[in-house]
Structures are given as structure tokens and as C-alpha cells.
Structure 1
């Protein structure tokens, strides 16, 4: 009837003459039936709200996460429908998220999400689509132009063995220069094979060189985060050096083996190179800390602080983790039992890396060399639409995840305090000996030609001379290959929270 009536109305507008019955129908159109919104129509938004209401660190500070928000189903359904895009909905219910209010006003800088939980889980295991070129990005020229510099090449990758190495500078992709407006699309877009356009740096000026190189990203590429393990002998001192680029649980046994090599070699000093380490698993951080300080299982490494709703359910000792004597797989920890450790940091050092530094501080003299860290003192957990498991992701329960909702969210759940109760380092951990990486002189990782390592060795030997370590071309970092993988600045909590709480 409604369709027929609309045809009559259209006909009446076309001709000046119309019947009396037409006039009556046009004056009294058939009323539209209101669309009744249902919570079931918005499963993704409902899952996000339920998980955030229960576990989000700042739940009490977000009006949209108030416990009464879903008391009236019709009003709750209307609220869920306000954002058709689940990503927009998620960032709206975060507490002053950086993507909503901007960097300067942000409280939540690190919560994020993925449209497919499987992609997220793989990245947390060190698996991603990669050509093996790990790089940083900075600005030059008119400040909207972007250049990249190669930090290192991942062994076994497409780039490994090609004409590209640490210190190389590039300014374009497929003949198009990188800018603030296009670098994400050009470097992290859909193209699996692309051509990198290189440049040279001379007299603090970056200039196109004409050199090109074709690279191909490999799907499902796995990177071992243990890049370098070696013993350096300096002035009769045996110094262990470990460059570790991500806290990935899948490599924990190899990590323990690396400490075993250093222990067998009889090192008395240790350098942890976390300069490019944006974080990862807390369990891996706990393992490293125990390898440094010792398997003192009666001493506190961290205390996790959650929102009041969760904290109120805890018994004394819940949320606390002591140093450990074994890996997750049960292997005895190879501990060096040190009273001092040297840690190299930059503005790419974050989260679990900072946790190791902060957690060791009450027990070990931690000497930090480099630049101030990111300042991510919060941790997170992966949530998926598995309501029977209180939304916690469990690889053994993937069959229970809602097949119509594959989204995953990674919201901030709390902060980790060290044994002294300290967790206030949102501004970053400040180095004892400051030195920026020098794009004009990056040197070779693990060798004394690397200025950051050279300075660290000088600190150890007591021959520090600041005048000899002045960077020529420090970079104002705007992003990196690690950031765009979606797992940088991550502190992933493992099993420290009660997952048997009832959901509203």
C-alpha cells in the first residue's frame, strides 16, 4: 500500500489536476513504522562495551562506561547504534584517547583494536608481513617531507643479503617522495612488492641519490627478537651484550639459552640493548629480570594495579609477581646474579622494556644510557567476543569466539608498580648518560663503532668523555616500522588477573 501511495503522490506532483481522493491520501500519508533497535543488532559494540565496562583502567572516569548505561535495553541499544564503525565507538568510550583528543590532551595513548583477532595474535607472536627492513622515520626539508633510516635488517628476510644495510637513508617509494600525508600508505599499504628510493646525507642535507632497490614483504614472517648475543672483553672485563628487540614468549627458551651462553662465558657485566624494543609479554620481562638479578622467588618484581571494580575482588597478594626460577615451559632460569646492569634506551624503548628497568631498580643499580624512554607504564590484555570466558582471549577457546564478530580490542587495564610502589613514569625513564642516535654515524650494532655501545663501554670502564659523543644529525622520530606493525608500546599481561568475575 505504501509503495502504491508514493506512486500516486508522485503522479499528483506531475499534473495540475488530481482527484479528491488523491488530495485526501496526500494529506494523510500512511504513518511510517518506527525501527526498533535491538542490542543483538550491534554485537561488536556490545562486546566492546561489556569488556571495557568490566576491565578498563579508567572505567570510573568515562560516563559512557557507567554501570547503569545498559540498565534500559532500548536506551542501551540506541547508544550502541550511535557509531556504525566499531573503531569509532571503541575510541569514543576510551578515556580521552589520543586518536580523539590529540596527543597533547590524551590520557589514554595506547589502547587499540583489530578487526580480526587472528592478525593481532600473530603479531604478538612475532609474526607479521615483513620484508625485513626495520627503520625509523623523521622529518626534513619543509618539515612535511619524511625520510627513513635503516636500523637493522632481520636475518632470513627478503632484505637479508640485498644491497641495504643499517644507516641507509630512503626518501621515496616507487618514485614518489615520502611526506606526512602519504608515508603510511606508501610504506604500510597493500603493495607487497615495491621499490625503495634512497638518498644520501651530507652537510646535514638529505639528497636523492638515484639508487633503488626492490623489496617484497613476506606474509607470516617470524622475527627472532634476539638479534645479537655476544661477549665483549674490555680492559680485562668480560661484558655480556644482548640486543633484544621485542618481548615475544615464543622465543623465551632461546632467550634463556642466550643468558646461558653469557653465564658460561663468565661475564661480570651486562648490557641490555633495548633501544628498539617497544615491549611485549610481561612473562618475558619477568624472565629477563630474573636472569639479571637472580631466581629470588620470595622477592617482589611487580604489583599490578587495576580499576577499583577489579581491585576490590582481590585477596592479599593477588596481582603480584615475584622473580621466577623457571621459564614458562619449566626450564631453570640461567641467572647472572648481578648487582648492576647497563641498559641502552631511546624514544623507541617502551612498555615491557621499561618494566624491566623499573622492576629491577629496587634491587639492582640500573645504569641507563641513551635517551628518555616512551613512558608507557600501563599494561593490556586481548579481549575477544567469548563471553563465557569473560572476553579473555584463549588460544584453546577460539572455537568459542562469536563467528559473527572477529574483532579484538587491546585496552589498557592498569599499571605495574615495582617493589617500592613506583609506577609514575608517563614522561619516560630518564637516562643517566644521555646520547641521541646519530643518523650520520649509526655504526655497526654490537661493535664499538656504534656510539651508544661505545659510550656504554666507556661508562663501564670509567673513561667517559662526553666531548667525544656529540651527534651530528639526531632524528626527531615520528614513527617506525615497529609502530606500524601495531604491537609497539605493548605490555601484555599474562595470567595476573582473575578471569572468573561475573559480567554485567
Structure 2
């Protein structure tokens, strides 16, 4: 019960934050040591891997003076935070401006509408090209006519490479240079697109359609983020699937980097429905917090606003994944496996099974926004618990491996939701015997980043 009260305070505090608000200019800035004390307190209390860092032990320092002497060894909050993290932690983050992550948790970002991946050239030159994954509606990218599969190699006339891509893509306005690839060389077409980022609310339910394939009614859902503010839209998609009489489902999480644990639980309950009240996931906290905070997450029958879940009662689901499928996406896949045939199509996932909470500089155990130190805007998302499914599967650091392995071909992506799109076609072949397009001669290259890499919540699993 105490844990749920704590979580509710965090959620309530986020809901009352206005978008992109500024800190009070009249307040006195907090000192570095004040911010560092907050970081230490938060990690000492909640950090999942606390035992890996001797300085986080409860008896590491005899008094506050000793602790301050230790903290003073680090010139910035960031260097202290990095030092205190465990070597097995790839995902905890510290933020100097918590309004950015609060907005991201509500689905509010700065976006030009072009969702893209970045891939190395095949010649090992260090040059990079971008490919358009999809275009968000009512954005600059849509008005410029960009479509999935477009390739770009320059920004503002400069060739993208492994050293400059961050700087070139960071501005709120830039011009991309479109190109073609003939299997050997990239050639600029002379076409360009000027893109401007604006504040954007992204509905993560990108595409929900019912396909009829060889007499089978098959639901297709492309879902791009576990954002609680859009739980109703997600539930409505399943209500439509149910009304359409679908007997199979393809859940496309290929670009879904995670989000809310509660929404992930609800999604699993929408797919099923016959396991209400049974264990969906188990929690494992640090030794200090485990007795008080650990609770099992269970399949449920209502979404966050209390509305009844529209469930399909399926015994099988096909889930499309790539290396960019992380955290809450992996929770859905891993959590379903003990109960139904969850068939993974595509590539291996990221390998993140831990969850985080947003901690502010406020008294323990709440660390709440309402009590946050008004003199700075630092907050952190440390890993606080890890999940296991009902069968105990956890610690999949290398990711979850597909039963039907197939990587995306950046030069022949196909259209999302189209029966000929390669990853969807692979699932439809298994479900309904629909012929698959040939993948002979496909050149697979290394993708290393994307348009969401700098998002404060990408790859995060946020506790209820």
C-alpha cells in the first residue's frame, strides 16, 4: 500500500505540470553540493543496484560531514551520478531540467514529424545515412511530402557522419538532402526538405486496421509508445478489433522504446482477458525496499481511467520487434509467454527488464514534485526494480530472441500495415499461409541511432 501511495504522488505531481514551464527566475540557484546530496539520497534509498556501489551502503559514511567530503570529490552532479551507477546499469538517467521529461511522459515533444533511423554506410567510411521510418500526421514532414523509405545523406548541405550527426540534427530547423542507393553508391537527387520542429502531441496508436487474409480476420496494430494519456485510444482500437471479429493479432512494436508499466499490463490484458487477476510480472527491488515495495503486477480488466478493457481473449499473438523495441515492449512479450503463444517476428530486442520512477529533490520516500526543492530543476530516473514474468524469466541482457528472425531492409521497407511489408508478411504467412516476399540479396547494415535516441523517456519503463 505504501508503494502505491508513493507512486500516486509521483503521477499526480506530473499531471499538474504545465507544458514547457520555466523555473521561477527570482529563486536562488541551489549549490552543487545540495544537488549532489539529493542524488545520493535518492540512489541510497531506491537504486536497484545499490549493493554494487560500496559508497551507497547505509553505513558508508559516519555523518553528513564525511558524506559531503566524498561528494566534494565530484565537480558536477553528472560526474557524481555516473560514478555511483553500477557497471550493469545501462539505463538510469539524470536530468538538469525535469520539465522536459514531464512533458515527454505525457507524449509532448518537439518534433518535425520525421521519425528516422541512422545507419552506417557499407564502405566503413564512417559516413551515415538516414532513412524515414514513418511520418507523423499534421507535421512539417508530412507537408513536405516525406514518406517511409525516403533516404537522406546530408543536413544543411553537409554529409552526415558518425562524428557530426548529433550536432547537425539538433537544431529546431534544418534541411535534409534526399538520396538514392544503387547497391554500391549513394547519389543525391537534388531534392531537399526544410523541416521545422514544433511542440507536438503524438498519439502512439499509429495504425490500427483489420485485414482479411485468406478468409481470416487479422488485427494489425502499430503502437509506438506506452503513454498513459492515450490509454483510451489504445482501448478503442481493441474495441474495434473485437467488433470486427478478429481471430488473430499482429502487434507491431518495432519502434516502441517503452513507457508506462501500467499501460503495458493493460495492453497484455486487452490481448488476452482470460487471465484477470493472475500474475503478469513480478518485482525485485534492492534489499532495503523489497519487503515493503515489491508487488506482483496482475492482468486486469480496467484501464487507468477506470473504463472496462476491451479484450480479445486470444491464445496466440504475433509481435514484431527490432533492436529498438525496449522495456515496456519487452515486458508485454515476456509477460505473455507463460500464458499464450507469443510469437516474436523480426529482430532481437534491446534487453531491458528494469523499471524506473521519476525522483525529485524532496524528502524520502515520496521524492515528490509537490515537495521538490524550488531552487533547481534536477530530477532523475534511476532503475528501481527489475521484472520477471510468472515463470521467473528475467535478466535477458542480450534481449529477447525472435522465433521468426527477419531484419528490416532499409532500401525496401514496404509500407506499414501493407500485407507485403516484409515483417508483417512473415507474420501473415504463419497465420494464414499468405506467401512471403523473397529476401534474397538483401544487404543488412548496422543501424546505430534514431530520432528518439535523445528522448528523455526512450528505452524507459516507468513504474505505475
TM-score scaled by length of structure 1: 0.83
Pair 1:386 & 2:377 matched: no
Question: Any stretches of 5+ residues in structure 1 without a counterpart?
Answer: 1-38, 97-106, 495-504
Question: Aligned residue for 1:53?
Answer: 44
Question: Aligned residue for 1:342?
Answer: 318
- Three-state SS of the structure 2 residue aligned to 1:159 is helix
CA offsets per residue over residues 286-330 of structure 1, 9 Å max, x none? 01000011063321111111111111335xxx4111101101101
Following superposition of structure 1 onto structure 2, how do residues 153-192 of structure 1 map, counting pairs within 5 Å?
153-188=135-170, 191-192=171-172
- Give the direction of change, closer, same or farther, for the CA distance of 1:356–1:471 in structure 2 (3 Å limit): farther
Question: Aligned residue for 1:151?
Answer: 133
Question: Any stretches of 5+ residues in structure 2 without a counterpart?
Answer: 1-29
Q: C-alpha separation between the residues in 2 aligned to 1:375 and 1:470?
A: 29
The answer as to whether partners of 2:100 and 2:456 remain within 8 angstroms in 1 is no
The answer as to whether partners of 1:295 and 1:325 remain within 8 angstroms in 2 is no
CA offsets per residue over residues 193-234 of structure 1, 9 Å max, x none? 11111211112432222221101000x311110000000000
- Give the direction of change, closer, same or farther, for the CA distance of 1:145–1:319 in structure 2 (3 Å limit): same
The answer as to whether partners of 1:437 and 1:471 remain within 8 angstroms in 2 is no
Structure 1 residue 278: deviation in Å?
A: 0.6
The answer as to whether partners of 2:265 and 2:332 remain within 8 angstroms in 1 is yes
CA offsets per residue over residues 383-418 of structure 1, 9 Å max, x none? 111216531x45xx2xx2111121011111121111
Aligned residues: 434
Q: C-alpha separation between the residues in 2 aligned to 1:273 and 1:489?
A: 16
Q: Which moved more, 1:166-175 or 1:67-76?
A: 67-76
The answer as to whether partners of 1:379 and 1:414 remain within 8 angstroms in 2 is yes
- Higher RCO (C-alpha 8 Å, min separation 6): 2
Pair 1:479 & 2:449 matched: yes
Based on CA coordinates, which of the two structures has the bigger radius of gyration?
A: 1
TM-score scaled by length of structure 2: 0.90
Q: C-alpha separation between the residues in 1 aligned to 2:134 and 2:39?
A: 37
Q: C-alpha separation between the residues in 1 aligned to 2:440 and 2:258?
A: 28
Structure 1 residue 455: deviation in Å?
A: 1.2
**Over aligned residues, Cα RMSD in angstroms?**
1.7
CA offsets per residue over residues 36-68 of structure 1, 9 Å max, x none? xxx976111100100001111110110121212
Ranges of 4+ aligned residues in structure 1 off by more than 3 Å: 462-465
Q: Choose from 160, 166, 178 the match for 1:198.
A: 178
Question: Aligned residue for 1:258?
Answer: 237
Question: Aligned residue for 2:405?
Answer: 434
Pair 1:67 & 2:61 matched: no
- Give the direction of change, closer, same or farther, for the CA distance of 1:41–1:204 in structure 2 (3 Å limit): closer
Following superposition of structure 1 onto structure 2, how do residues 87-106 of structure 1 map, counting pairs within 5 Å?
87-96=78-87
